[in-house]
Amino acid sequence: MPRAFDIKLATIEDVPLILNFIKELAEYEKVAHEVVATQETLRETLFGENPHAEVIIGHLNETPVAFALFFHNFSTFLGKPGIYLEDLFVRPEARGNGIGQKMLAYLAKLAKDRHCSHMRWCVLDWNESAIGFYKRMGATAMDQWKIYRVTEQALDDLAK
């Protein structure tokens, strides 16, 4: 029987599934202890009055097997928006079916439809399989850039 794959934009009804995907991704990345997101916070931040990100869900034979969470960023040099891919995760049992490529292609088409100039994302330096996958998709590493962030107490201190 052929394997049917389709991608849908997530709705508020998908919040429990999205949280499960986030937890599975955190397990894979060995940072499950860092997940503090809840269904309530996801409902508000993804589907509330001022949504901050969007999610697509990939279904193989009507079973959810992949998700991607993304939002718009902006290139000041290009003067155009882009799509920042925060997370892309394909469940282990579904890998090797071209699902990751289809998810990225969907986002690339969405970026083009929204007149974006680029897509951007980060990958952990130890995740050789993801790095190889992204290179095969035509992505190039931006090795001259370092990512910085402030969180928790440092964010509180900076905001004062």
Number of H helices, E strands in the chain: 5, 5
CB 63 within 8 A of CB 21: no
CB 106 within 8 A of CB 56: yes
Helix/strand/coil for 110: helix
The residues with which 55 forms a beta bridge, in sequence order, are 69
- Decide if 106 is catalytic: no
- Exactly one of 28, 84, 106, 134 is catalytic; name it: 134
Residues noted as catalytic: 134
